[in-house]
Amino acid sequence: MQFKKFYEEYNSAEAIEQKRLEQLEKEQAFNRLEDEFSIKGIQYHFPENTLQHTIKEALEGKVKNASLYAAELGSAIRSFVSMPDKSIEERTAYREMALKQVEYITEHYFDDDKKAASFVNEINKYYENDVLWGKGYVVIDNSDLEPFKGYNSPLSGEITF
């Protein structure tokens, strides 16, 4: 009887909601971008031709930990892939917030307009792929990676043999 009572209380709607609230509070209490250990001690190494690598290269020497910033911003831009437990509205909000961050970066960290435009174009490519991913499409674009650069591209109109 005691176990049955405990089981019913533990799985009640109120108890489940309380557990979710506690978990959300724990997640929000810890912010990797403010944690002193993360800012000073952790360095991520991203493969070339990735979103995070692009962001890290743009912010290197301009923020305290460019790799951590790149990991967080890249995760927000690719929210449909990196945040499967969030709702569609939350993922969209994270992605839109990330675009605002990209605007801020281009306004404050780039002196050259061409480099800023190139950075925004690269970010927009990942943004658009994430939107398509959210609509159910699988987006795979390896055209910028070796050895795929030398292959035919239907967009370029060039043919290689």
Q: Which residues contact 80 (CB under 8 A, 6 or more apart)?
A: 91, 95, 130, 133, 134
| Residues 101-123 pLDDT 10s | 999 999 998 888 999 999 999 99
| Residues 3-55 pLDDT 10s | 888 888 888 888 889 888 888 887 766 565 555 555 556 777 888 888 889 99
Instruction: For the chain, give the longest Cα–Cα distance.
Output: 76
| Predicted model pTM | 0.60
Q: How far is CA 156 from the centre of its chain?
A: 29
59 and 104 Cβ atoms separated by less than 8 Å: no
